[in-house]
Amino acid sequence: MTTEIINIGDELLIGQVINTNASWMAEQLNLAGFRVNQVSVIRDDREHILAAMAEAESRAEIVLISGGIGPTRDDITKHTMCEFFNTQLVFNMDAYHDVEEIFARRGYPVTELNRQQAELPENCLSIENKLGTARGMWFEKERDGGGKTIFVSMPGVPFEMKAMMTGHIIPWLKKTFQTPFIYHKTMLTQGIGESFLAAQIDDWEKALPGHIKLAYLPQPGIVRLRLTGTGKEEQIIRQQVDDEINKLESLIREYIFGFDGDTLEESIGQFLKERNATLATAESCTGGYIAHLITSVPGSSVYFKGSLVAYSNEIKKNILGVLPESLQKYGAVSKEVVSEMAIAAQTMFDVDYAIATSGIAGPDGGTADKPVGTTWIAIATPEEVFAKQFTFGDSRDRNIRRTALQALNMLRKKLIM
């Protein structure tokens, strides 16, 4: 089944909003066995919407459309849908009750704009929306050459769209179509660049069978390797992809930190929970970002006690108790200071493990000796404290992110030993 996504919204085309809807929708469709062929982002404009829908219809059996059906004046999608499907808006009492309910819950009266959202195209199947006032719309259209295309229109607000996709659209699509089997498995690596990975796994890659494909997905600090197998027999495809993953694993074991949706912060959380151990951080250059990653995991309060973001030398001395001599002699970005920070966090928060960072995130603060990107990371365990120096790049954001990932992976490696 060829599937296309159309995201409507001028805001996406002037770059003020990042199109996270497309990637989320694509991921869900893939997991359900629907291959996404193309994503088109278009203007919130009658003619453009009509043209894009006609083009998508010529290529795809399923067209999912998001955006352009909010309560405000810049949304014209619903009227254009009526034109494309040759129908008209009618007032839908169920939809109106939902709108009323949402407003009652919030303790506000229904506005006229929101009342109009209960008007829906006559020939669509409407899709309920418990989180917002715009319903989804499911249309089926016969094609000139025979067969039909399913069009589904939904709101652009991410959490409304997600609830609608998960609760209604994906289950309905699965019921309607029989899909070929697609199996993805992604290996996550940290601490090695794309071309060096490629050189290390070249022989293995060349020997891959034709129906299994490899893709490199680099991000700051991380390279993901995705294997995709396609075929009729689910069990065989799974087995073949898993076998190839095992071979690959043996080639680059030291760089792998997980699979698929794993994150370093989640695996660390798992390890700590399993051993009833606790963690804290003392952060300088990462400024709380490591604590943020760790606490983004639900339930992290079981093992994470806290963090001291020490963004000045005074705080390092007065609160963490870093020795003034160490700061003077070696500087804040040094093995000595970062090690003292890790040990201090361990004591202060009374935890088993501690992470400490100190570096020059940039753009200012670099010297000939210690250029921007110079970073020290220390890990304190119940047995020891160890520290390592890294030289990252010029970008502040990337340096913060790479330092955090490197630090989490250093801790992870200790935890699995």
Query: Count of CB atoms within 10 A of residue 355's CB?
Result: 29
In the complex, the smallest distance separating the C-beta of residue 402 from a copy of itself, rounded to whole angstroms, is 12
In the complex, the smallest distance separating the C-beta of residue 220 from a copy of itself, rounded to whole angstroms, is 8
Q: Which is nearer to a copy of itself, 87 or 263 (CB)?
A: 263
Q: Which is nearer to a copy of itself, 123 or 399 (CB)?
A: 399
310 with 340: CB under 8 angstroms?
no
In the complex, the smallest distance separating the C-beta of residue 202 from a copy of itself, rounded to whole angstroms, is 8
Please list, in sequence order, all residues whose beta carbon lies within 8 angstroms of the beta carbon of residue 227, skipping any fewer than 6 positions away.
184, 185, 186, 187, 212, 213, 214, 241, 244, 245, 248
Sign of torsion over alpha carbons 132, 135, 138, 141:
negative
Q: Which is nearer to a copy of itself, 85 or 289 (CB)?
A: 289
Please list, in sequence order, all residues whose beta carbon lies within 8 angstroms of the beta carbon of residue 320, skipping any fewer than 6 positions away.
282, 308, 310, 340, 341, 344, 345, 348
CA dist 206 → 20, 192, 201, 346 (Å):
33, 20, 9, 48
In the complex, the smallest distance separating the C-beta of residue 209 from a copy of itself, rounded to whole angstroms, is 14
Q: Give the integer Cα–Cα distance in Å for 136 and 342.
A: 52
Q: Which is nearer to a copy of itself, 26 or 125 (CB)?
A: 26
- The runs of H, that is alpha helices, within 187-263 are 194-200, 202-206, 234-251
Q: Which is nearer to a copy of itself, 230 or 381 (CB)?
A: 230
Q: Which is nearer to a copy of itself, 6 or 81 (CB)?
A: 6
Amino acid at 202: D
Q: Which is nearer to a copy of itself, 217 or 236 (CB)?
A: 217
Angle between helices 77-84 and 46-59 (to 10 degrees): 50
Up-side HSE of residue 111: CA atoms within 13 Å toward CB?
A: 6
Q: Give the integer Cα–Cα distance in Å for 65 and 170.
A: 13
Taking CA 391 as the corner, what is the angle to CA 386 and CA 395, rounded to the nearest 5 degrees? 125
In the complex, the smallest distance separating the C-beta of residue 208 from a copy of itself, rounded to whole angstroms, is 10
In the complex, the smallest distance separating the C-beta of residue 64 from a copy of itself, rounded to whole angstroms, is 12
In the complex, the smallest distance separating the C-beta of residue 8 from a copy of itself, rounded to whole angstroms, is 11
Q: Which is nearer to a copy of itself, 59 or 88 (CB)?
A: 59
Helix (H) or strand (E) holding 109: none
In the complex, the smallest distance separating the C-beta of residue 137 from a copy of itself, rounded to whole angstroms, is 20
